[in-house]
Amino acid sequence: QSVLTQPPSASGTPGQRVTISCSGASSNIGGNTVNWYQQLPGTAPKLLISSNDHRPSGVPDRFSGSKSGTSASLAISGLQSEDEADYYCASWDDGLNGWVFGGGTKLTVL
């Protein structure tokens, strides 16, 4: 059972917009920033969104993040086949004194 809650799966057709949610608590998302990681099949995770809504250099602007209260969301617009991957949210937890991840969302492009 992960501390942060994500839907296990999401899907969309090319060109569509999909959103992945990440729910937490006041000890993690509520009081700290959220980061998102993309893990393509067979590869190491890669930073996708940092500090709730910041795109690192090289990440397409089709990816965007937001946070409200104890929840966060990752939105992918103009869905492409190469976006098929696992997506994880993460945040520092002040109660646990450690990082916590969501269980991951497997995105399928139909």
Partner 1 sequence: EVQLVESGGGAVQVGGSLRLSCVGSGFTFDDYTMHWVRQAPGKGLEWVSLINWDNDRIYYGDSVKGRFTISRDNSKNSLFLQMNSLRIEDTALYYCVKGYSSLTVDYFDFWGQGALVIVSS
CB of 64 to partner 1, least distance (A): 16
Pairing of strands 85-93, 105-109: antiparallel
Question: If you ran DSSP here, which 8-state letter would residue 56 be given?
Answer: P
SS3 38: strand
Asked if 63 touches partner 1 (CB under 8 A), the answer is: no
Can residue 68 be called a binding residue for partner 1 (CB under 8 A)?
A: no
* Sheet order of strands, 63-68 included: 18-23, 71-76, 63-68
CA distance 42 to 98: 26
Between residues 42 and 82, which has the closer beta carbon with respect to partner 1?
42
Taking the complex as a whole, the smallest distance from the CB of residue 6 to partner 1 amounts, in Å, to: 9
85 interacts with partner 1 by CB under 8 A: no
Nearest to 102 by CA among 56, 55, 38, 41: 38
Binding characters for partner 1, 33-52, by CB under 8 A (x = yes) = x-x-x-x----xxxx--xx-
Site residues for partner 1 per CB under 8 A: 2, 32-33, 35, 37, 39, 44-47, 50-51, 54, 56, 86, 88, 90, 92, 96-104
